[in-house]
Structure formats: C-alpha cells, structure tokens
Structure 1
Amino acid sequence: MRMARRSLLQGLGALEHMMLVQRGHLLHWVPVCLAVGIGGFFALRFEPDMTQLAGAAGLALTLALIARRTGEAFRPIPVALVLMLAGALLAAVRSHSVAGPVLGWRYYGAVEGRVVALDRSGSDAVRVTLDRVVLERVSPARTPLRVRVSLHGQMQGIDPQPGMRVMTTAHLSPPGGPTEPGGFDFQRHAWFAKLGAVGYARVPLVGLELPQNDWSLATFRVRMAISAHVRAALPGDVGGFAAAVTTGDRSGISLAALEDLRASNTAHLLAISGLHMGLLSGFVLGLLRLVLAAIPGAALRLPARRIAAVGALIAATGYLALSGGNVATERAYVMAAVALVAVMLNRRAISLRAVAIAAIIVLVLRPEALLGPGFQMSFAATVALVAVFGWMRDGRVKTGPRWLQPVVGVLMSSAIAGLATAPIGAAHFNTISHYALLANLASVPLMGMLVVPAAVLAALLAPFGLDWIGLWLMGLGLRWILAVAEWVASLDGARSFVHGPGPWVLPLIAFGALVVILWQGRARWGGLTAMALGGLLWAGADRPAALIAEDGGIVGVMTTQGRALSKEKGAGFVAQNWLENDGDGVDQQNAAARWQGDIASRTKLATVGLGAGTVELVHLIGKTGLADFASCAPGQVVVVSVTPQVPLAGCDVYDPKRLRTTGAIALVQGRDGVHLRTARDVTGDRMWSGWAR
C-alpha cells in the first residue's frame, strides 16, 4: 500500500512538473480545444435539444468555477474542458443562426429571385444563386432562403447581372446527402451556405427587374465589373486566372486549365487565400516603407513601420471586400490582420501565438470552417512554416551564404508547406501530385515577384486609364504559371490516386503533429505515435464491397480490377466520387466496362462478398429494367432507379422512395458476412440532414 501511494505521488509530481513547463505556451492550445469541441458537435448522430445545450453550458460554468480553485499546475485541465464545451456550443449557435427552410420534395416550375452569386458548376455550366426566392404554389414559410440553379442548354436569355431579379423554369431538389456513407456531406455544406434547394434549368433566363441601388450587393457588382474588364483585357484562361486572383471570380477559366492546375498542385494559386493576402499585404507594407523612407525627414519623425502596417491593413481590407469575402479569404484576412496589428504594437508578427489568435477568431466566427480542406491546409502550412523557421531562428541555423539564403528559403518553404498539407490534400481529394514541389518552385516566386505587384500597379493606374500596363505584366506571369502547370501535368506519373481514409485518420495525424510542435519537453515526441497510428489506419482501411447511390441511379461493386459501375453514363458526379475515394484513376466508362455481363442490359446482377456471406445485388435501371424483372431470388437485394407502382413481393427493395429515408448505402464485407450501412447510420439525424420519415 505504501509503495503504491509513493508511486502515485511520484506520478502526480511528474505530471505537475510537466504541466508547469507548459506555462507561457498554453494559448497555442486554445484553438485546438475549441476545434475538439466543434468536431465533437458535428460528429454527433443526434441533434442536441435546448435542454442538453443548457446542460452543456451549465457544465462549462461549473468547470470554470472549479478551474478558479485549482492549483496553477492542473488548472489547464478544467480550462481545456471548458473550451471544448465552448466549441460545441459555438457550433450549435452557428448552426441555428443560419437555419432556413429546405425543400422537402422534387420541384418543377417557375423560380424567381435576385442574383446574389455567379459561378460555374463542375460540368462548366453557369450557376446562379438566388435569394428573395419565390416558387410557384409554395408558401413563403416553406420557400428556401437561397436556391442555386445551373443553366444548361443553349441559353438565349439575358446574361444574369448582380442584383438583377430573374425568373426561369427549373428542376429543384433538396441538397443531396453524402455520395456514400462517411463521405462529404453536401447537406451540411448547403445548410451553412443557406442553400435550401439546388437544381438546373434548360430554358432561357428572363430578366424581370434591373439591379437596384442595393448597398448589400454593391461590392458584388463592382467585383463582376472588374472581372469583366480584366477578362476583356486578358482573354482566355489568362484573363480567367487574373479575374480569379483579383476578384475571386473563377467563371472565366476553362476546365482543362483547372485540371492542369490540380494535377500540378498549383490550383491553390487560384483561390484568394493566405498566399495572396500575405503577398499583397507584404508588398504594400514594403512599398509604403520605401515611400516614407524616400521622403526627407519622414522616416526620422514618423513611425514609418506602423503607418505602413496601417496602409497594408487597409489594402487587405479592400482586397477582402473585392474578393467577395468567402470563407477562405476571410480566414486569410484574419491571419494577415493579426500579423499587421502585431507590427503596429511592436510585437513579433509571425509567431505561433499570432497563428493561434487567428485560428481562434476564425473558429469563433465560422465554426463549420474546421471541416473544410481550406482551413485545415491553410493552418497546417502556416503552423509548420512558423514552427520550422522558428526553430531555425532560435537555434541560429544558417542556410548557406547570405546571397543564397533567399533561394534556400523559397525551396524550404515550398517543401515544408507541401509536406504539411500533403496528407490533408490526399484525404480530401484522393490525389498526390508527385511533381508538386517542382511546379510550385517554378510558379509561387513569380506570383510574389510579378503577378501581385502588377495587380497593385494596375489598381494604382486604373484612375488614369493606364491599368493595361499592370494587367499586361500580370498576364506575363500568369501565362508562365499556366504553361508550367500544363507541362508538369503532362509528365508521366505526374499524379497518383489514394483511397479515402477513415474518420479517425486525419484527427490522429493532426493531433500528433500539434503535440510535436506545441508541447514543451520530451513528451512531444509521443505525438509521432499518434501520427503513425493514423497512417496505419489509413493504410489498412477497406473500401465498401458495393455502393448504392442515394437515388438508386447507379451501383458500384468492387472487383479484382477495381470498382465496376452499372452505368456508362449518368450519375457522373456520384461515379467520380466513388472512383476517387477508391483511389482509382479511371473514368466512368472504363469502370463500367469492368461489369461482368451485358453492360447495355437494363437489369444488372452482381455478387457481393465471399463464401457463405455473399449477397446477390440486382440493379434495375428505369421502367424497362423494372418491367423485365420477373421475380426475386432468396437473399437478393434489389435496387430500383424508379419507384415501382406495385411492390415487388418477397424482395428487399431499395427504390428512390426508400432511399430518401436512408441515403446512400454501402455493403461492407465483415467476418460473418455482408453488412449494410447507410449514410443516415453514419451522419445521424441532424437539423441539416432532411431525411424523409
């Protein structure tokens, strides 16, 4: 007993010493604790009611009181729990604050609304987002706050303009759920974008009312006007690229150029993110300091550094407004603003403390951003860069002769950022660009030295009608970047594909990396264990033996050659997602050729599983397939793309009506046979789910 007590006291003493060592570094863990709470809220399979949320708030208050009475060494433990509960409550408040009606059925009819956003879909169709929506025969209480419509076909109607009130006849449906259980949840994404319905139109768009002097859309109109001006001065993909990096409008760049940028891992140059915001702020900061230094006496009498930081912050704020203020740009702006304010206060601008403050602000304002690849990749790259260069600075590590240090710095920055973001990019996009470092080394420096300064020059010369000079210089840099992307994408083995990870893989890798970077003392190397465990779970993850789309339109069965699809055409988005998550680089047509049997038949039969646990899966496509189907065999699972008028006796049938209650389905091979798992099983019943009852 005495020995056990002594061991316990020694353990508590060691823990107390370890916690005291963390003093001065605990702010870094605040966004981590908030993220744990936010992630826990979104991982729930049920929607907490007000009683449960009030209970969580009461528990947080109790823990806060306990923290006040806890010793300095162990006080961070209850504080961490308070922050986790605060993160969950922030996510709950945000979820309720954006609530709006979601269309509960398929709608066809007149759609009227005001244009508040313009972009392009994955099929290169123009997409309009409308608010102040009016739907035929739908009461205002059931009408979504926003709808998004893709304009297909030969459109002879008007060109949609910001703020214009338009009308068309469209097919609308509720936002779709995950394409497979555990996949990307578009329903949740649409909820926070206030999209209550999505669809398409094949008839011309009619203008009902010209844009009014609505200040809420003033920046949108300015953005689109600048975008049109830039694309007129720089036609083709170069103009589309220039419009994307200046106004955030990506509608002018072709799908081929986008694919090259993605294959070379330079697509991040399109998004107005931390790189662009940092380059712009840094250029303006340096330019203003040079101008002030050139004025006799100004540098001696005025706080030039602080004035330059104020000017850079104003420029960054204008860039935020001009870009449309999407989540990625807001995140980049917060990070740049924190650094510039630190300059004004004579604090170190680039530090882990500044990164932590930026992450706290973003998570408080938009907790849902945590789940997106933009937030994860941005902060992963920033934390890794600040940590590595901080260690080198503190250790006085030299990177060669003075004249060579800038080149080595660029090489190291690209390599560090690439390594930090590689697991996240592979997890979300299922691809690895093998020549990403080469492409970024050839492109990123030119973005900072030519493209961004040329954009600032164009803005300064625009009032005098000389902006073409800056745009011409900008075009030179962007042509080079597009050429590099095309060349790298054409190299053999430029890109490989990886299968999607399980739900615990990224959290484990991220937590392990944060422990290595943020924790003080030798225990930090324990984070490598968590990272290794995440890697092992990823490598050992099995893909489903069969997948069924949420509308029954397509089925995919895993074979020795890869996933075989039941259709050559149609349901392309679902098919592409399945193949990407499998780590399979083939297209839908080649995947359909793997199907054993007549691919042209409207009735498809496949065997799922091994041994005694096998299940026969039948896919009936359309009314023809349904009419040709005679009867079920025992143990068959029948998937029908149309709802039968007469129930199929003795069959386990999944038709569109039933699938609306389950979402997409995965058949998973287990030790005791094939198990069926639905999207609803994984995501649960949340306020954004919209499952049919």
Structure 2
Amino acid sequence: MLARICPLSVVQGCLTRIERERGRFLHWVPVFLAIGIGVYFQLPVELGRYAYAGLGLLVALLGLVSVRWPWGVGPLVWGVVLVAAGLLLAAARAHYVAAPVLDFRYYGPVEGRIIAVDRSQKDAMRLTLDQVRLTDTALDRVPKKVRISLYGKEPYAPAIGQRVAITAHLSGPNGPVEPGGFDFQRMAWFRGIGAVGYSRNPVVLMARPDGHGVGVQITRLRMALSAWVREILPGETGAFAAAITTGDRSSMSRATLDALRGSNLAHLLAISGLHMGLLTGFVYQAARYLMALSPSVALHRPTKKIAAVLAMLAGAFYLLLSGGNVATERAYIMVATMLIGVLFDRRALSLRAVAMAAVIVLVLHPEALTEPGFQMSFAATTALVSVFGWIGQFRGRFGPRWVQPIMAVVLSSAVAAAATAPVAAAHFNQVSHFGLIANLLSVPLMGMLIMPAAVLAALLGPFGLGWLAIKLMALPIDWIIGVAYHVSSMEGAIGYVAQPPPTALPAVAVGGALIVLLSGREKIVGAALVVIGGVLWTNVDRPPVLISQTGGLVGVLKENGRALSKLKGDGFAASVWLENDGAPLPQSEAYALGAFRGDNGVSRSQIGAASLVHLSGKLGSTQLNEVCGMASLVVMNRYADQSTGECWVIDAEYLRHTGAIALWPELNGWRIETARARQGDRLWTRWQKDQQPWR
C-alpha cells in the first residue's frame, strides 16, 4: 500500500536530492531557525517550563540521532532540530529580557537618568530614562526604562547621563490599535521599556551627567558629535548629516522624513548595510591603494588581509559611534563576516557569508526577525548576492568597461527595490513608484562623496580640520533632500496597499528563500509560495467596524473608505486604521465621509441591517438608556453606570480587558475579534490581567 502511495523511486530521489544539500546546509540554517522563531511569536499561549524542557530534550535526542542516522535523512532531522532550537532561542531571549511593566495608570513625579533622546510620532522631543523612581511604588513594580514625550512650551536641551525629574502621565505600553496590528507591547518588552507617557511640565535637572558607564560615555560622545555636525551644517542638511554619521535623528523634521519615505530614500538615514558597506568598502580600498604606493609593502605583505582588518576596525568604531542598535549591529556582523572571509582567502560576498551573518543575528536577537529592518536588509542582500552571482558568468557581455559601473548601480538598485518592496508594503502600507529613479540619483553620491567625506572628517578631526570634510557633505546632501522632495511630490509617486493577512508575508519570504536556495525546476516550489502569498494579500478582508482600545473612536468601512466617528481624538489609531486600509486620509476627511451623524456626544451609523451608536464624553454617556432601545450596538469611552439587556454595550471596562476590537456584522449579531485574543497569553501581555485603572 505504501509503495502505491509513495513509490520507492520517488523516496530514493528525494533522499538523494536532500543528500546533495549536505554541503550547502549552512545556507538552510537561518531558514530553519527563522521558522522556529516565527512559530514562537505566533503561539497563542506561553509554553510552560516543562514544555520547554521537553522540547530541549527532543532537540538533544534528535541531534544525537541525526549524527548516527543512515544516509539521506540526517539533513531532514537537523532541519527539525533547528526549528525547535529557534523556538527555544526566542523563548530564552523573551525570558532573559523580562522586566517589570507598569500595570496601572500613574500620574506624578518621575525621576531617572536620560539614556536616549529622539522624537515621537507627533514630532515631540522624547526622553528614555533608566534608574527610574516613582512615588509610592514598590521597587519590584518600577519599570526598568520609561519613555516620556515632552509637549511643554519651555525649550530644553537634554544631555545623555543627566538625572532629571518631571511630573508625567505614565501607563504600560499600549497594545495593537486593531486585532493583528503592530504589537508595540512586544517590541517594548524586548527593549526593556516598561512604561510610556507624556508631560506638559518643565523638566527639572537633578544631577549633571556622572560619567559612569561605558554605554553612557559612548552615547554622550555620539550626541556631542551630532551637535558638532549640526553646528557646522545648520538646518535639514546638518540634521541629515548627523543622522547618517551618528544615528541621531532627533533634529530631522517630519516633512523631510515623509519626503524620504515617499521617495524610497529613508534607508539612507538608517545606519545599516548600505552605510556600513560603503564605509568599510572605502576604508578597505583606500588602505590597499595606500599600501600599493610602497613596493616593499605591496610585494612582501598581505595587503588584502591588512586592509580587511583595518576595515573591520573602522566598522567597529562606526558601530559604537552610531549607538550600537540592532540594525547597525546586524550590518556590522554581515560586513565582518565577509571581511573574515577575505582573511581566510574565501569569497567575501557569498550566500555562505550572508547565512552566517543571519545565524549570528538570530542567535543574539531572535526578536529581530519580526522587525522590518532585519527583513529588508537580508532580503536585499540575499537577492543582490544571488543575482550578481548568476550574472557573474556573463562578465564582459554588458558593453564597454566604462558602462559596467553604471549598469551595476542600476541593477543593484532595481534588485534591492524589488526584494524589499513586499516588506515595505507590508509594514508601511505604501509603495514608492518612482523610488528606483530617486535611488539612482542619490545612492551613487552616498558612496562616492558623502561616506568618503565622513571618513575624511574622522581622520582630520584630531587635527581640528574635520569641519572641512563635513562642509564637503553639504552639496550632495542638499541634492538628496531635493530629490526626495521632488520625487515624493510627483503625481502618483506613492501607492497605498492594505495590510496583508499574517500568513502572506511569511509565504512570500519562504518562497523567495526557496527560489534562491533550490535549483532547476525545484524553484517552481518557491515561485508557487510567492504566488500564494500574493493571492492571500489581494484577498485580504478588512474589518467593517473597528473600535479603539479607549472606546473614543469607531471606524466603519464604506464604499468610499473608512468613515470615523469623531473629527479629533485617538489620532494615532485613526491614522493606523486608514493606512492599513490602504487609504491614508487625514482624520478630518475620514470623518467628513458622513457615515456617522449626530451631535452632543452621540453619533449614529448604519452597517447593513445593524445600527451602531457611539457615545463619547460625559454628555454622551448620560444618554445610554435613550439610545439603547434604538441600536443593536452601543460603544462608549466611559464606564456604563447601569446594565441593560436591550442592546450590546461596549464600554471602557469591557475594552480594558479586550483591547481594540474588530467586528463583522452577521445575520444573528456580530462576529467579534479582539486585540488581546490575537496577542494571546504571552509574557508581554500578562501584566494586563491585573491592570488597575489609576493610582
């Protein structure tokens, strides 16, 4: 019977094919690890210690078996081992970073040390504090880090390491603004941020920077260099230069950031693979050229390996200077892996080097798998290495030598854009139609002028002449900013797409990996997965009704877009909903669609045969009994003082346990999906079970 279902020749053929992959198994390691990590983040509940112990024992047993197993099956068993190991790695990391999360709403004095300064979504200055103290709060409940946005009118120039005090509103990190949306709670958990909030009060300096801690010293140096660069190059030019040299974006205006995103040039700001590659590449080539000037050195010394070491040292310094975030760390690991290949006389740019870098990053930071930076970086690098490896055999067939650099820039920009487009569309809900043009006009300047000028500034800095090199960056940076504004303002420059279902992007990613790793007709399997992911994406079912986690906003999907119940309020939820719909209108325009009618805190809308009423504010909440008899669903942002069986009431107490809600009308009522249910019972959500309203 088994022979009829699966002929022996087919089984033998599969085993033979698997055995051929034994020599290339390193290429598959990050794929299997990523699958395991992805499974961990999709679990509906956190596994217990016995489950993890059993899984660890299974990994050990399968690893032992795979070493002694007969021909052909070993790689398969190792694949299972790596998937389980990826799950265990992610779980271990999640438990390792565990820290208290504020489980009540706090208003009062907050004292702490400044460890980071950036800007919020609303373009307000934002401070991240550690060594936190809260009034009347037990030490074991005080968060390790808090992040506070400053909305006061009083100007303030913060310095890393200062100890400050401020009266602020704090609460635990908010959950997704809709079921299945971006999980800020999970991101904050892995970054150690246990509370977020805001203040309109002045900041009080309690103590000047004490200078203790290597991390604080490096951050202070980075911010000092950023201020020095902005002093030499004022305005947006200096802000751009500071961002690409030190990672400090706190001076970038929202308009410039939007222009860079709309023209697909925002990656120029992130200190990642492009910057690290340009910097280390410039140092590597410059070192080789300088050593070639001395015949004795060029003939008797391994100049290539010396240049590789110098490039790694330059990259390490750049890593420290930029703040050492995960994206920059990932970029340095990739570059260092390739340069180590040079030291051992291996190909510097190969899939093996990319795979090794991916493994190192996933082991150190498993949570990076869920972040767009990791996904875009490795998607672009893998695609570039594969494509240029394939066309390497056609070297010399693309015209004269002077044309080949131009062709390389065009091809690399096109390949990177194609590889990262699905990731950018999934995370940011937009596609830049003219991004290739903008990159062709901008990326060469980064490699030929801006990054070499940055290296020259570092070399001339000790002699007091670094400002000369910084000045050289002004014109090319102004050109890039001008290109960004021009391209992003062109008609049809930006296309918007709806948020895909959770299975779409993983299907596309795995399919793309299989296209790269498999050979011949086997690539059809990967192409089929990519097509399946695209079909899932195009058939996404957006919720007809969305309710914010505060109950202060309701969005109803109509033929002309999602109409909102309020002109103002819950602006972040409104913007995310509209972006996820693929129609990012201003909140005022979404309200003007007219699906809601009423006044004095009472807004009514009709969804098919169902009627919905949104009550907001104190005045609206007093009309619950009056509207309940004429509506099948009432949403309110306050606590219902009385219970009623005449209609379904979703009030602040209900939403405190469910988070944001999505609804689909049905014949016998509503189908409901909550943000908390989609998140599951995980480490980063458990604090909400006993959450208290205020203290």
- TM-score interval w.r.t. the shorter chain? over 0.9
1:602-645 superposed Cα distances (whole Å, 9 cap, x missing partner)? 1112223x4xxx43222111111112332413772221112234
**Paired amino acid for 1:413:** S
Relative to 1, partners in 2 of residues 1:599 and 1:386: Cα closer, same or farther, differing over 3 Å? farther
1:254-403 to structure 2, matched below 5 A, reads 254-394=253-393, 396=395, 398-403=397-402
The structural deviation recorded for 1:398 is 2.8
Q: Give the 3-state SS of the residue equivalent to 1:297 in structure 2.
A: helix
Worse-matched range after superposition: 678-687 or 405-414: 678-687
1:186 pairs, out of 178, 184, 198, with 184
TM-score (norm 1): 0.97
The structural deviation recorded for 1:8 is 2.2
2:171 pairs, out of 146, 170, 173, with 173
1:72-93 superposed Cα distances (whole Å, 9 cap, x missing partner)? 3121111001000100000011
**Paired amino acid for 2:290:** V
Q: Give the 3-state SS of the residue equivalent to 1:523 in structure 2.
A: helix
Distance 1:333 1:239 in 2: 25
Relative to 1, partners in 2 of residues 1:71 and 1:3: Cα closer, same or farther, differing over 3 Å? closer
Worse-matched range after superposition: 512-521 or 35-44: 512-521
Relative to 1, partners in 2 of residues 1:590 and 1:127: Cα closer, same or farther, differing over 3 Å? same
Distance 2:77 2:445 in 1: 48
Tell me which residue corresponds to 1:251.
250
Tell me which residue corresponds to 2:693.
none
Tell me which residue corresponds to 1:626.
621
Q: Give the 3-state SS of the residue equivalent to 1:190 in structure 2.
A: helix
Taking only aligned residues, the RMSD between alpha carbons, in angstroms, comes to: 1.6
The structural deviation recorded for 1:4 is 2.5
Q: Does 1:665 align with 2:664?
A: no
Distance 1:648 1:235 in 2: 62
1:617 pairs, out of 612, 616, 637, with 612
Relative to 1, partners in 2 of residues 1:2 and 1:510: Cα closer, same or farther, differing over 3 Å? closer
**Paired amino acid for 2:157:** D
In the alignment, is the contact (CA less than 8 A) between 1:662 and 1:691 conserved in 2? Answer: no
The structural deviation recorded for 1:600 is 4.7
Tell me which residue corresponds to 2:633.
637
**Paired amino acid for 1:523:** E
Worse-matched range after superposition: 441-450 or 208-217: 208-217
Worse-matched range after superposition: 555-564 or 294-303: 294-303
Distance 1:322 1:171 in 2: 33
Relative to 1, partners in 2 of residues 1:171 and 1:298: Cα closer, same or farther, differing over 3 Å? same
Tell me which residue corresponds to 1:655.
651
Distance 1:406 1:261 in 2: 25
Distance 1:215 1:290 in 2: 39
Structure 2 unaligned segments of length 5 or more: list them.
691-695
Relative to 1, partners in 2 of residues 1:326 and 1:197: Cα closer, same or farther, differing over 3 Å? same
In the alignment, is the contact (CA less than 8 A) between 2:563 and 2:596 conserved in 1? Answer: no
Distance 1:135 1:591 in 2: 40
Relative to 1, partners in 2 of residues 1:286 and 1:3: Cα closer, same or farther, differing over 3 Å? closer
Tell me which residue corresponds to 1:692.
689
Distance 1:600 1:645 in 2: 21
Question: Sequence identity of aligned pairs in percent?
Answer: 51
Distance 1:286 1:414 in 2: 22
Tell me which residue corresponds to 2:478.
479
In the alignment, is the contact (CA less than 8 A) between 1:21 and 1:520 conserved in 2? Answer: no
Distance 1:53 1:17 in 2: 34
In the alignment, is the contact (CA less than 8 A) between 2:244 and 2:268 conserved in 1? Answer: yes
In the alignment, is the contact (CA less than 8 A) between 1:548 and 1:556 conserved in 2? Answer: yes
1:576-619 superposed Cα distances (whole Å, 9 cap, x missing partner)? 100000000311110011133436541112223x4xxx432221
Distance 2:611 2:396 in 1: 63
Q: Give the 3-state SS of the residue equivalent to 1:691 in structure 2.
A: helix
1:118-133 to structure 2, matched below 5 A, reads 118-133=117-132
2:201 pairs, out of 200, 203, 222, with 203
1:361-410 superposed Cα distances (whole Å, 9 cap, x missing partner)? 00000000000000000000000000011011145573222110000000
Relative to 1, partners in 2 of residues 1:129 and 1:599: Cα closer, same or farther, differing over 3 Å? farther
Tell me which residue corresponds to 1:607.
606
In the alignment, is the contact (CA less than 8 A) between 1:22 and 1:519 conserved in 2? Answer: no
Worse-matched range after superposition: 12-21 or 74-83: 12-21
1:666-692 superposed Cα distances (whole Å, 9 cap, x missing partner)? 013568764110011211111101333
Q: Does 1:541 align with 2:540?
A: yes
The structural deviation recorded for 1:650 is 4.0
The structural deviation recorded for 1:153 is 2.4
Equivalences, count: 687
Tell me which residue corresponds to 2:223.
224
The structural deviation recorded for 1:448 is 0.5
Q: Give the 3-state SS of the residue equivalent to 1:25 in structure 2.
A: helix
Distance 2:371 2:602 in 1: 39
Tell me which residue corresponds to 1:116.
115
In the alignment, is the contact (CA less than 8 A) between 1:41 and 1:91 conserved in 2? Answer: yes
Tell me which residue corresponds to 2:238.
239
Tell me which residue corresponds to 2:566.
567
Tell me which residue corresponds to 1:215.
213
1:304-355 superposed Cα distances (whole Å, 9 cap, x missing partner)? 1111111100000000000001111111011011011111111101000000
**Paired amino acid for 2:430:** T
In the alignment, is the contact (CA less than 8 A) between 1:309 and 1:343 conserved in 2? Answer: yes
Relative to 1, partners in 2 of residues 1:315 and 1:506: Cα closer, same or farther, differing over 3 Å? same
The structural deviation recorded for 1:291 is 1.0
Q: Give the 3-state SS of the residue equivalent to 1:182 in structure 2.
A: coil
In the alignment, is the contact (CA less than 8 A) between 2:163 and 2:207 conserved in 1? Answer: yes
Relative to 1, partners in 2 of residues 1:192 and 1:628: Cα closer, same or farther, differing over 3 Å? same
1:162 pairs, out of 154, 160, 163, with 160
Q: Give the 3-state SS of the residue equivalent to 1:114 in structure 2.
A: strand
**Paired amino acid for 2:213:** W
1:549-564 to structure 2, matched below 5 A, reads 549-564=548-563
In the alignment, is the contact (CA less than 8 A) between 1:621 and 1:641 conserved in 2? Answer: yes
